[in-house]
């Protein structure tokens, strides 16, 4: 205890240390009662957070034992991941299908120009940054398109799921799997200067389909690629969502049961309590329409990006990028790293991932994209 005092460990007094020893806190178990190295660093790192009474040291230990999955690593996902990593969440899984482009840097805070030049997948670059921010947090990067085939393995054992996606299909899929496995999740979205967020607590609050029973028709909702987005609204919505995440993980009575809207440009904020719907097909009748649907189409246009994603239907194993690059360099410009291969030919940019999934930029026509894929990558 004297050693702790002499070393000036903020937020740790005699009562704190007695509590740590009594409860068998992992910081004590790993470093002994002296808490000289790792224990001191832990208490110092989170001192301002543990001084906040609703969290304290006991709450901090609970956060350290928590597992959170973030679906999407764009504007929302990077800020949410940054906030939760710095808050000391024990295990973060970041899942995203995309790679970093220059236009991302205006609002996606974990990326820089070096990442763009290296053509890194978003999840990989984010994980590298987060590990340098807080090495105590276990970070898992998943470079995958989120589909019904793989989402259950991501979600079934975590404590919380955060929505940072850019499309409603994935959100409805998230709603299905989280209701099925009774996992809380937080819906968030931003567009222009407007943002929305809502906690979805299975068995307690309304789910996504209680509020939005039907999937919006294609082309009926604006996107960041068509109307833009202010980085300020990203920070505002993720600030609320990441704080709600802490409340949920700490089982706080202050967890919000309402949907919150705000428009920073118009200076408006609205909050609405939304009841569960007994006839909701998901949380009321437990029909998981999106989760139980057959595998999606082999290609999908990416809204507003003049690009199409093509998925290999029967591919197994990983692509040999070196062999593929050698074959393609005769007809175009090729570069690759361990995460993806980028190929420029004619007016198209083709990015190929290890599982044979590809994003073909330069067309929004799925038939054209599949033809290009077959011509250069194979069937």
pLDDT, tens digit, 9 for 90 and up, residues 275-289: 999 999 999 999 999
Residues 6+ apart with CB under 8 A from 260: 196, 197, 198, 240, 269, 270, 271
The answer on pLDDT for 220 being more than 80 is: no
Percent pLDDT > 70 in the chain is: 84
8 A C-beta contact, residue 359 and residue 299: no
For 300-315, how does the pLDDT look when each residue is reduced to its tens digit (9 = 90+)?
Answer: 767 667 888 888 765 6
pLDDT bracket for residue 23 (50, 70, 90) = very low
The answer on pLDDT for 261 being more than 60 is: yes
Nearest to 200 by CA among 209, 192, 191, 190: 209
Answer CATH for 66-273 from 3.50.50.60, 3.20.20.300, 3.40.50.720, 3.40.309.10 = 3.40.50.720
First to last CA, the chain: 67
Higher-scoring residue by pLDDT: 220, 159:
159
The answer on pLDDT for 341 being more than 70 is: yes
Pinpoint the alpha helices (H) of the chain.
2-6, 14-23, 26-31, 38-45, 47-50, 56-64, 75-87, 113-118, 122-133, 151-155, 168-180, 208-211, 224-227, 231-249, 321-328, 366-376
Please tell me the distance from the alpha carbon of residue 176 to that of residue 289, in angstroms, as a whole number. Answer: 8
The answer on pLDDT for 18 being more than 90 is: no
- In terms of Cβ atoms closer than 10 Å to its own Cβ (0-12, 13-18, 19+), residue 209 is buried
Higher-scoring residue by pLDDT: 46, 318:
46
pLDDT at position 157, please?
93
Least confident of 35-44, 195-204, 237-246, 334-343: 35-44
pLDDT at position 32, please?
47
The answer on pLDDT for 218 being more than 90 is: no
pLDDT at position 9, please?
42
Answer CATH for 299-376 from 4.10.830, 4.10.240, 3.30.310, 3.30.70 = 3.30.310
Domain coordinates in residue numbering, the chain: 2-52, 66-273, 299-376
pLDDT at position 3, please?
36
Percent pLDDT > 90 in the chain is: 62
pLDDT at position 296, please?
62
Pinpoint the alpha helices (H) of 282-329.
321-328
Rg over CA atoms, the chain: 23
Higher-scoring residue by pLDDT: 229, 127:
127
pTM: 0.81
Please tell me the distance from the alpha carbon of residue 255 to that of residue 259, in angstroms, as a whole number. Answer: 12
pLDDT at position 374, please?
82
pLDDT at position 169, please?
86
Residues 6+ apart with CB under 8 A from 45: 88, 134, 136
């Amino acid at each position: 205890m004297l050693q702790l005092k002499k070393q000036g460990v903020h937020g740790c007094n005699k009562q704190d240390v007695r509590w740590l020893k009594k409860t068998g806190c992992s910081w004590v178990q790993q470093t002994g009662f002296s808490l000289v190295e790792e224990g001191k660093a832990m208490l110092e790192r989170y001192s301002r957070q543990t001084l906040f009474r609703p969290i304290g040291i006991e709450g901090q230990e609970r956060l350290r034992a928590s597992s959170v999955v973030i679906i999407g690593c764009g504007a929302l996902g990077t800020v949410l991941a940054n906030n939760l990593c710095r808050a000391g969440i024990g295990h973060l899984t970041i899942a995203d299908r995309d790679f970093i482009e220059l236009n991302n840097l205006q609002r996606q805070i974990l990326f820089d120009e070096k990442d763009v030049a290296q053509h890194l997948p978003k999840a990989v670059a984010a994980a590298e940054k987060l590990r340098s921010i807080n090495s105590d947090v276990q970070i898992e990067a998943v470079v995958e398109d989120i589909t019904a085939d793989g989402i259950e393995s991501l979600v079934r054992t975590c404590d919380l799921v955060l929505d940072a996606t850019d499309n409603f299909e994935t959100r409805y899929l998230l709603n299905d799997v989280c209701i099925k496995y009774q996992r809380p999740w937080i819906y968030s979205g931003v567009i222009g200067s407007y943002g929305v967020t809502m906690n979805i607590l299975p068995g307690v609050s309304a789910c996504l389909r209680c509020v939005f029973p039907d999937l919006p028709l294609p082309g009926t909702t604006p996107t960041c690629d068509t109307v833009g987005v202010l980085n300020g609204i990203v920070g505002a919505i993720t600030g609320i969502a990441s704080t709600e995440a802490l409340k949920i993980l700490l089982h706080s009575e202050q967890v919000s049961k309402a949907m919150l809207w705000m428009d920073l440009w118009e200076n408006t904020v609205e909050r609405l309590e939304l009841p569960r719907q007994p006839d909701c097909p998901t949380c009321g009748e437990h029909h998981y329409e999106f989760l139980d649907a057959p595998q999606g189409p082999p290609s999908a246009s990416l809204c507003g990006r003049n690009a199409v994603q093509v998925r290999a239907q029967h591919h197994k194993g990983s692509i040999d990028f070196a062999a593929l690059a050698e074959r393609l360099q005769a007809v175009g410009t090729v570069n690759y790293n361990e995460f993806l291969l980028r190929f420029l030919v004619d007016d198209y940019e083709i990015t190929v991932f290890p599982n044979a999934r590809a994003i073909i930029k330069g067309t929004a026509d799925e038939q054209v994209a599949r033809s290009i894929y077959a011509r250069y990558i194979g069937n």
